[in-house]
Amino acid sequence: MTRRILIDPVTRLEGHGKITIILDDSGQVEHAYFQVPEFKAFELFCRGRAIEEMPALTQKICGVCPTAHHHASSKALDDLFGVKPPPAAAKIRELMHNAFMFEDHLLHFFFLGGPDIIVGFDAPASKQNILGVIETLGMEAGKEAIEIRKKVRRIISIIGGSPLYPANGLPGGVSKALSAPEIAEIRSTASHALLFAKATLNLFSRRILPESRFRDMLFDDAFRLETAYLGMVDSENRTNFYDGSLRVVDPKGKEFARFDVHEYPRHLEEHVVSWSYMKVLSLKKIPWNGFTEGPDSGIYRVGPLARFNVSEGMKTPLAQAEYERILETFGGKPVHQTLAYHWTRLMEVLYAAERMRELADDPGLSDSNVRILPDSLPGEGIGVCEAPRGTLIHHYQTDPKGIVNRLNLLVATQNNAAAICMSVEKAARALIRDGEVSPAILNLIEAAYRAYDPCLACATH
C-alpha cells in the first residue's frame, strides 16, 4: 500500500504551496506534486476598471515583486496610449527597477532560499532562516545585509513614495522628477550597494561554492533539468531587466526564437492542471506533451539562470567578469543545474548595483521633463520586463472610454511552473530511498524549488 508525505505549507517563499509525495509500497517515490492552493482572479476584477489605474492595481498581485508589475503595467500603458516616455522618465524607471532587483534578490539570499546554502542543507529546521544566517555569518554581516536592503528600498520610496508599492507609473512617464539632493542620496546608496554586492559574491565563492555538500548537490543530477530558457536581452544579446526583446534558447543553448513582446501569443501557451491553481506555460511551437524534459518538450525556464543562458554577456564590467567565472566553472552553456540559480542571482545583484551607479551618474536623470501626455485614445497595449523571478508580461485591452475589458497576465513564476514541479519530483525520486525520509532530505527537496525563488501569489494571481 502507498504512503504519503505531506509538506504543508512549503516555507521561505512567497505564497501558499504544498508538496505531496506518494511512495509505493516498496518505499520508492511514485509521484511528487507541488500544488498551489490559492487564486485571486485579478484577470477578472481588473475588468471594468479605468485603464490608468492598472499600474497601481495590478502591482497588488505581489508585495514581493510589485515594482516589476508596476513597470510591466506602465510600459503596457505607454504602448496602449502610443506615448514614449521622455529619456529622464525611462531612466528613473530603470533605476527603480534595478534598485528593486537588487533588494529582492538579497531578500531571497538572506531570508528565503539563501539559508539552505548559507547554513547548509542539513542544518536543523530551526536554523534554516535569517536568524540562522546571522548566527552563521555573524551579527555584523547580518545587520549589514538588512541595512543595505533598507537603504536600497529607500531609493524606491524616493522615486515612488513607498518602498513597497511605488505610485508613479503613468502612460508616457512618471509622476515625479528627481531633485538634486535626491539624486545625491541615490548615488551614495548605489556606491554602497556596489561594495555590498562584491562582498556578497566574495562570500559566495569563498564560503559556499567550495563547500563540498553544496558542490555535490550543485552538480548532482537530482538538481538538473534539461529545458529551454526565456529571457530579455538588449540589441547585443546582453541581459536587460527593463527593456529589450525576448530570446529563447533550446536545451542545447541554440537560439530558438528572438521576438518582440507583441508576438508573445504566438510563442507562449498556458496549460491547466486540475490539481493546482498554478497554470503551466510552455513554448507554443512545440506541441505540449506534459511534464517532460529534453528537446521535444516545450517546457522552459526563466529567472536568473535563464537570463544567464539566453544572454551572451553582461553590460557592466564586474558582472561580465562574474559571468565568465560561472561559464568557466560549468564549462559552457546552457547551464541546466538548478542550484546555479543562486549564483546567477548574485551575479545579477552585482549587475543591478553597477547599473544603479551608472544611472545615478547619468546627468540626464535630473531632467524635469518626465512625462508626455497621450493624445491618442486608449486601445490595446502590451508591456514586458524582467522580474527577479523571470519574464513578466502585462497585456490590456480597453473600450474607447479607457475601461479595461480584457487583460492577460503572464507572471514570472508561471513560466517556471512546470520546471518547479519537475524539480521537486526529481529531487524526491533521487533523495528518498526505501521510504527513508529525514528532515534534511525533505529540506533538500524544498531546496529544489527554493532555488527558483518562486512567487506563488504571482503565479496564480
Partner 1 sequence: MKQKPKIAFCWLSSCGGCEESIVDLSETLLAAAEAAEILFWPVALDYRYEDLEKLEDQELDAAFINGSVRMDDQEELAHLFRKKSKRIFAHGTCAHLGGVVGLANLFPGKEGLNEAYLRAPTVSNPDSILPKTRCEEGGETLALPGFHPAVKALHQVIDVEYSIPGCPPTPELVEEAILGLLEKRLPSRGSVLAEKKALCHTCPLNRTKPERIQAQRFYRIYEKIWDPNRCFLDQGLICLGPSTRGGCKARCIQANFPCRGCFGPLEKVRDQGAATLSFLASLMHAATPEEIEMIADSIPDPAGLFYRYSLPSSRIHQSRFEENP
Contacting partner 1 within 193-232 (CB under 8 A): none
CB of residue 459 vs partner 1: minimum separation in angstroms? Answer: 11
List the interface residues with partner 1, window 84-113 (CB under 8 A): 107, 111-112
Question: 524544498: which residue's cell?
Answer: 446
User: Are the beta carbons of 34 and 430 closer than 8 angstroms?
Assistant: no
Report the nearest approach of partner 1 to the CB of residue 52 (Å): 5
The residue (of 103 and 348) whose beta carbon lies closer to partner 1 is 103
- Binding segment for partner 1 among 126-134, 250-258, 304-312, 354-362 (CB under 8 A)? 126-134
Choice from 184, 195, 321, 373 touching partner 1 (CB under 8 A): 373
**Distance of closest approach, residue 211 Cβ to partner 1, in angstroms:** 21
- Indicate which single residue of 117, 170, 190, 437 sits in contact with partner 1 (rule: CB under 8 A): 170
Positions in 173-192 near partner 1 (CB under 8 A): 175-176
Shortest CB 438 distance to partner 1, Å: 14
Q: Which stretch, 215-223, 337-345, 348-356, 395-403, contacts partner 1 (CB under 8 A)? A: 395-403
Q: Which of 3, 28, 138, 143 binds partner 1 (CB under 8 A)?
A: 143
- Compose the 276-295 pattern: x for residues touching partner 1 by CB under 8 A, - for all others: xx-x----x---x-------
User: Can residue 162 be called a binding residue for partner 1 (CB under 8 A)?
Assistant: yes
Among 85, 113, 120, 160, binds partner 1 (CB under 8 A): 160
Of 210 and 272, CB closest to partner 1 = 272
User: Least CB distance from residue 409 to partner 1, whole Å?
Assistant: 9
Which of 195/373 has CB closer to partner 1?
373
Q: Which of 26, 274, 331, 332 binds partner 1 (CB under 8 A)?
A: 274
Nearer to partner 1, 125 or 321 (CB): 125
Q: Which of 25, 84, 122, 147 binds partner 1 (CB under 8 A)?
A: 147
Question: At its nearest, how many Å lie between partner 1 and the CB of residue 65?
Answer: 9
| Closest to partner 1 by CB, 44 or 332 | 44
> C-beta of 338: minimal distance to partner 1 in Å?
20
Residues 339-368 that bind partner 1 (CB under 8 A): none
Residue 371 binds partner 1 (CB under 8 A): yes
State the Cα–Cα distance between residues 365 and 374, nearest whole angstrom: 22
The maximal CA–CA distance of the chain, rounded, in angstroms, is 71
Nearer to partner 1, 108 or 357 (CB): 108
Strand ordering across the sheet containing 29-35: 3-7, 18-23, 29-35
Q: Which three cell numbers stand for residue 441?
A: 532530505
Looking at the DSSP bridge assignments, the partners of residue 173 are 170, 371
From candidates 1, 44, 235, 434, binder to partner 1 by CB under 8 A = 44
Tell me the C-alpha distance between 332 and 317, whole Å.
Answer: 20
In the complex, minimum distance from the CB of residue 434 to partner 1, in angstroms, rounded to a whole number: 20
Identify which of residues 128 and 297 has a Cβ nearer to partner 1 in the complex: 128
3-state SS string for the chain: CCEEEEECCCCCCECCCEEEEEECCCCCEEEEEEECCCCCCHHHHCCCCEHHHHHHHHHHHCCCCHHHHHHHHHHHHHHHHCCCCCHHHHHHHHHHHHHHHHHHHHHHHHCCCHHHHHCCCCCCHHHCCHHHHHHHHCHHHHHHHHHHHHHHHHHHHHHHCCCCCCCCEECCEECCCCCHHHHHHHHHHHHHHHHHHHHHHHHHHHHHCCCHHHHHHHHCHHHECCCEEEEEECCCCCECCCCCEEEEECCCCCEEEEECHHHHHHHEEEECCCCCCCCEEEECCCCCCCCCCCCCCCCEECCHHHHHHHCCCCCCHHHHHHHHHHHHHHCCCCCCECCHHHHHHHHHHHHHHHHHHHHHHCHHHHCCCCECCCCCCCCEEEEEEEECCEEEEEEEEECCCCEEEEEEEECHHHHHHHHHHHHHHHHHHHHCECCECCHHHHHHHHHHHHCCCCEHHHHHC
Considering only residues 114, 120, 163, 304, which one is a binding residue for partner 1 as defined by CB under 8 A?
163
Residue 7 CB, shortest distance to partner 1, in Å, is: 7
Q: What is the rounded distance in angstroms from the CA atom of residue 271 to the CA atom of residue 264?
A: 15
Min CB(217)–partner 1 separation in Å: 18
- The three cell numbers locating residue 61: 498581485
Q: Is 298 in the site for partner 1 (CB under 8 A)?
A: no
Task: Candidates 61, 283, 305, 310: give the one binding partner 1 (CB under 8 A).
Answer: 61
Ramachandran bin of 331, using left for φ above 0, alpha for ψ from -120 to 50, beta for the remaining angles = left
Beta carbon of residue 307, minimum distance to partner 1 (angstroms, whole number): 22
| Interface with partner 1: number of residues (CB under 8 A) | 103
Query: Of 14 and 322, which has the nearer Cβ to partner 1?
Result: 14
| 32 binds partner 1 per the rule CB under 8 A | no
